[in-house]
Amino acid sequence: MAAARQGGELQGRHALVTGAGRGIGAAIARRLLADGASVTLLGRNAGVLHETAAALRVELPEAVLAVETADIADAEAVSLAFAAASGRLGPVAVLVNNAGQARSAPFGKTDLALWQSMLEVNLTGTFLCAQAALPGMLAAGWGRIVNVASTAGLRGYGYVSAYCAAKHGVIGLTRALALEVAAKGVTVNAVCPGYTETDIVREAVANIVAKTGRSEAEARAELAAGNPQKRLVQPEEVADAVAWLCRPSAGAMTGQAIAVAGGEVMAG
């Protein structure tokens, strides 16, 4: 991580990161701050967000940070949060839709409540945040939207049909919106991590241990087995890919879904 902020490619840009309290979201916020952006951390847990903001200020004393709380599946809450964030740090020029949740169940036991919850947080939230940020980007003639999807948006996995459907939807939304705004200075891309060292994976490991009796090490190895590098992706690796797509120099990149997965998924 670069400690100095002056001269960064995102100097003067306001970036808003959803799900920014921990894991991939916190790593993305750190990376964008290092690139010179001012950053709003958005999430549902105010305590976690403020702890992360305090830690980032220690790492980057010159960081310009704000915190907003909202449920991204709530249209009114999103609208109010974006208005407040823009009032503090200016129009959102960079939006990273990172907030998400994964729950597993066999298809036959996937009830409507689980199905709808996966669509709301993973897909509807991405839609609402993009709608909130886009007018300011179009007015400025410049913007970056990066949706943190998943390799589950590029292929299928058993026992997470609702999550896979939602993440496939995020990829479709990314491609459609990219075409709509391609000539208006705004790019829209998706980054698709494989199994990454986050709370979601830790919960998956605990679930495997509880249901199968395997050890934690065996459960982690099972999740890493699909990665040709035989390891879990690190949040900072995802953050680097996101940061690149946010830079002015990545202006020719739009409508892409880039896997960060050690070769698990390759473009044809």
Catalytic hit among 157, 159, 163, 195: 163
Q: Which residues have C-beta within 8 Å of that of residue 229, sequence separation ≥ 6? A: 262, 263
In order of 51, 115, 142, the CA distances from 58 in angstroms are: 11, 40, 31
Instruction: Please say whether the dihedral angle defined by the alpha carbons of residues 28, 34, 36 and 38, taken in this order, is positive or negative.
Output: positive
C-alpha count within 13 angstroms, C-beta hemisphere, residue 193: 28
Closest CA to 44 of 120, 110, 116: 120
Closest CA to 39 of 200, 122, 27: 27
Judge contact between 258 and 191, C-beta under 8 A.
Answer: yes
- 157 a catalytic residue: no
Residues that are catalytic? 163
